[in-house]
Chain A
Amino acid sequence: MYKTVQVFVPNSVKLKTTKEMKCKTLHKDLIFYLDNELPIEKRKEIERHLETCADCRYFYSFLQAEMQIIGKEKNPEPSPFFFTRLSARMDERPDFRQQSLWNRVAQPAFFSLILIAGIYGGLRLGSHASSGAIHQTSSSSVQLLNDFESEPIESFLLDE
Chain B
Amino acid sequence: MNEPELIKGIQQGDHRSFQTLVETYQRKIVNTCLGIVHNTADAEDLAQDVFLEIFRTAGNFRGEARLSTWLYRIATNRSLNHIRNKKRKGFFQSLEETFTGGKNRNSEISENGNDQPDHRITDQQRSDFLHRAIDHLPEKQRVAFTLNKYEELPYQQIAEIMEISLASVESLIHRAKKNLQEQLYECYRKKCV
For A30, A63, A74, which residue has the most chain B Cβ atoms within 10 angstroms? Answer: A74
Across the interface, do A95 and B13 meet the contact criterion of CB distance under 8 Å? no
CB distance from A121 to the nearest CB of B (A): 35
Contact partner, A82, options B48, B133, B184, Cβ 8 Å: B48
Q: Which residue in chain A gives the minimum CB-CB distance to B41? A: A79
Q: Which residues of B contact A75 (CB under 8 A)?
A: 27, 31
Closest A residue by C-beta to B179:
A31
Chain B binding surface, main DSSP class: helix
Q: Which of A28, A83, A85 contacts B181 (CB 8 A)?
A: A28
User: Does B31 contact A74, Cβ atoms closer than 8 Å?
Assistant: yes
Asked if B44 lies at the interface with its beta carbon under 8 angstroms from chain A, I say yes
- Whole-angstrom CA separation of A27 from B129 in the bound complex: 18
Contact with A along B21-47 (1 / 0, CB 8 A): 011001100110011000010011001
Closest to A65 in B: B126
Interface string of B88-131 (1 = CB under 8 A from A): 00000000000000000000000000000000000100110110
Give the dominant DSSP class at A's interface: helix
A73 at the interface (CB under 8 A from B): yes
Q: Which of A27, A86, A95 contacts B48 (CB 8 A)?
A: A86
B44: contacting residue among A63, A82, A90, CB under 8 A: A82
Structural contact, B34 and A76, CB atoms closer than 8 A: yes
The number of chain B residues touching the other chain, given as a range, is: 35 or more
Once A31-B178, A74-B31 are accepted as A-B contacts, the answer to whether A83 and B127 lie under 8 Å apart by CB is: no
User: Closest Cβ of chain A: how far from B136's Cβ, in Å?
Assistant: 14
Contacts of A83 in B (CB 8 A): 19, 22-23, 26
User: B185–A27 contact, CB under 8 A?
Assistant: yes
A70: chain B residues within 8 A (beta carbon): 35, 130, 149-150
Q: What's the tally of chain A residues with a CB closer than 8 Å to chain B?
A: 31
Q: Is A99 part of the binding interface, using a Cβ–Cβ cutoff of 8 Å?
A: yes
Chain B 122-174 interface residues, beta-carbon cutoff 8 Å to A: 123, 126-127, 129-130, 133, 149-150
Contacts A65-B126, A75-B27, A78-B26 supplied; 13 other A-B pairs, CB < 8 Å: A28-B178, A63-B188, A66-B184, A67-B130, A70-B35, A74-B35, A76-B34, A76-B43, A78-B30, A79-B44, A82-B22, A96-B56, A98-B15
Task: Please list the 7 inter-chain residue pairs (A to B) with the smallest Cβ-Cβ separation, ordered nearest first.
Answer: A31-B181, A74-B150, A31-B177, A69-B130, A86-B48, A62-B188, A69-B127
